[in-house]
């Protein structure tokens, strides 16, 4: 056990529901162990600008149920440069902050890795992104809320699709990953799911829609991950209308509503467990790692590995999606 006395916590990159629960867990866990904890506003940008506030247990009251991040978040260009990271380390040292907890995605972890390596600041990462695209954890904070949000939106779209015998092509977020599309697509009972991890071209989609038609389906839902390479939702809709004129097609881009909303219980519990684990890890004297959950157990993964490796898309899920959609 170290004699850690003061840590900082920040949220960085795209916000995700459950980040507040993670900050709360980090803050309360630190206080529980008599460690001072400073909240850094607006990610690395706020760190460089000295936006630091000492937190107590009450500073994080009534946020476990709130989406977004009360610390606010940012994507910081200056932090990509060594001088920016040197300035950040100086800021931390001047404030007496000995170690940092970074809650964010792979971009945030790249910065954290370099800060630890170049400036010898102990850093632990907590995976917070709706995309679920981080190696070393089965789930990232915010993913469960996002897929439930998408599922609810698609359920609503299904009502109108069914009423008008229409085909809806729906774009969901996920950056370069198809996890949101795959999980929400299965949950919402979509006819087809297009994801970057399993490329399927327009001919495949046309064949699948023809098959649905023959199977007696009068409306269809196609979920497309934003990172899918088949040309984008508007192009897909145009081609479908040209090749299958029998279909009345509409496009919906769900956009940033997928990032908001009250975190689900699963996200709050995940965030609480990872927040406590992050402080335990720093107290043990371990740095340069990300805390994650694998097979329902806390695991540590090197931050660099967490950034560089891509989690495997489970082929069983793709098979399930194909089978249940006939
Ligand atoms: O990483 C989270 C995410 O919402 C992605 O799914 C999406 O591609 C991106 O952020 C959008 O970024 P911004 O909010 O900067 O437009």
DSSP states along 83-133: HHHHHHHHHHHHTT--EEEEEE-HHHHHHHHHHHHHH---EEEEEB-TT--
What is the CA 272 to chain-centroid distance, rounded? 16
Longest alpha-carbon distance in the chain: 70
pLDDT, position 1: 72
Q: How confident is the model at residue 147 (pLDDT cuts 50, 70, 90)?
A: very high
pLDDT digits (tens, 9 = 90+) for 97-141: 999 999 999 999 999 999 999 999 999 999 999 999 999 999 999
Atom number of ligand 1 nearest to Cα 174:
6
pLDDT exceeds 90 at position 169? yes
User: Could you tell me which residues come within 8 angstroms of residue 219 by beta carbon, excluding any fewer than 6 positions away?
Assistant: 158, 161, 162, 164, 165, 166, 167, 168
Atom number of ligand 1 nearest to Cα 75:
15
> Ligand 1 centroid vs 247 CA: distance in angstroms?
31
User: Could you tell me what percent of the chain has a pLDDT over 70?
Assistant: 100
> Ligand 1 centroid vs 162 CA: distance in angstroms?
30
pLDDT digits (tens, 9 = 90+) for 26-56: 999 999 999 999 999 999 999 999 999 999 9
DSSP code for 141? B
Nearest CA to ligand 1 atom 13: 14
pLDDT, position 199: 87
Angle at 31 between CA 267 and CA 1, to 5 degrees: 95
pLDDT digits (tens, 9 = 90+) for 70-87: 999 988 889 989 999 999
> Ligand 1 centroid vs 175 CA: distance in angstroms?
6
> Ligand 1 centroid vs 276 CA: distance in angstroms?
27
Q: Which residues line ligand 1 (CB under 6 A)?
A: 14, 105, 129-131, 173-175, 226, 259
Nearest CA to ligand 1 atom 10: 14
> Ligand 1 centroid vs 15 CA: distance in angstroms?
9
In this structure, of 62-66, 208-212, 256-260, 278-282, the range with the lowest mean pLDDT score is 208-212
pLDDT exceeds 90 at position 317? yes
- Helix, strand, or coil here: 39? strand
Q: How far apart are CA 219 and CA 168, in angstroms?
A: 8
Nearest CA to ligand 1 atom 15: 14
What is the CA 276 to chain-centroid distance, rounded? 19
Residue from 173, 181, 196 whose mutation best tests the ligand 1 pocket (most atoms within 8 A of CB): 173
Decide: 147 and 190 in contact? Cβ < 8 Å: no
The one catalytic residue in 15, 106, 131, 133 is: 131
- Helix, strand, or coil here: 311? coil
Atom number of ligand 1 nearest to Cα 256:
4
Residue from 12, 13, 14, 43 whose mutation best tests the ligand 1 pocket (most atoms within 8 A of CB): 14
Q: Are strands 52-55 and 36-40 parallel, antiparallel or unpaired?
A: antiparallel
Residues paired with 302 in a beta bridge: 289
Atom number of ligand 1 nearest to Cα 16:
2
144 is catalytic: no
pLDDT, position 40: 98
Strand segments, DSSP code E, in the chain are 6-11, 36-40, 52-55, 99-104, 123-127, 166-172, 192-194, 220-225, 248-253, 289-294, 297-302
Q: How confident is the model at residue 24 (pLDDT cuts 50, 70, 90)?
A: very high
- Residue identified by tokens 């609480």 is 272
What is the CA 234 to chain-centroid distance, rounded? 25
User: Could you tell me which residues come within 8 angstroms of residue 21 by beta carbon, excluding any fewer than 6 positions away?
Assistant: 63, 64, 141, 263, 267, 268, 271, 272, 275
pLDDT digits (tens, 9 = 90+) for 291-302: 999 999 999 999
Atom number of ligand 1 nearest to Cα 175:
8
């Amino acid at each position: 056990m170290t004699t850690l006395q003061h840590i900082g916590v920040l949220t960085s990159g795209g916000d995700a529901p459950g980040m507040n629960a993670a900050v709360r867990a980090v803050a309360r866990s630190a206080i529980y162990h008599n460690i001072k904890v400073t909240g850094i506003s607006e990610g690395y940008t706020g760190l460089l600008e000295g936006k630091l506030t000492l937190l107590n247990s009450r500073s994080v009251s009534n946020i476990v149920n709130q989406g977004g991040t009360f610390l606010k978040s940012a994507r910081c260009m200056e932090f990509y440069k060594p001088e920016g990271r040197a300035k950040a380390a100086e800021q931390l040292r001047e404030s007496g902050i000995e170690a940092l907890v970074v809650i964010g995605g792979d971009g945030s972890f790249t910065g954290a890795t370099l800060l630890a390596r170049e400036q010898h600041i102990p850093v632990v990462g907590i995976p917070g992104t709706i995309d679920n695209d981080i190696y070393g954890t089965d789930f990232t904070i915010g993913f469960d809320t996002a897929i439930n949000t998408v599922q609810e939106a698609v359920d609503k779209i299904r009502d109108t699709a069914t009423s008008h015998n229409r085909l809806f092509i729906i774009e969901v977020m996920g950056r370069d990953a198809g996890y949101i599309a795959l999980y929400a697509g299965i949950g919402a009972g979509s006819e087809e799911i297009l994801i970057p991890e399993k490329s399927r071209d327009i001919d495949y989609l046309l064949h699948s829609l023809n098959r649905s038609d023959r199977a007696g389906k009068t409306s269809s839902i196609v979920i497309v991950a934003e990172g899918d390479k088949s040309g984008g939702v508007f192009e897909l809709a145009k081609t479908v209308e040209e090749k299958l004129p029998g279909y009345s097609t509409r496009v919906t881009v769900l956009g940033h509503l997928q990032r908001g909303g009250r975190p689900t219980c699963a996200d709050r519990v995940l965030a609480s467990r990872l927040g406590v684990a992050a402080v335990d890890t720093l107290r043990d004297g371990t740095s340069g790692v990300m805390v994650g959950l694998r097979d329902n157990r806390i695991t540590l993964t090197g931050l660099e590995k967490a950034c560089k490796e891509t989690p495997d898309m489970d082929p069983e899920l793709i098979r399930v999606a194909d089978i249940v959609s006939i």
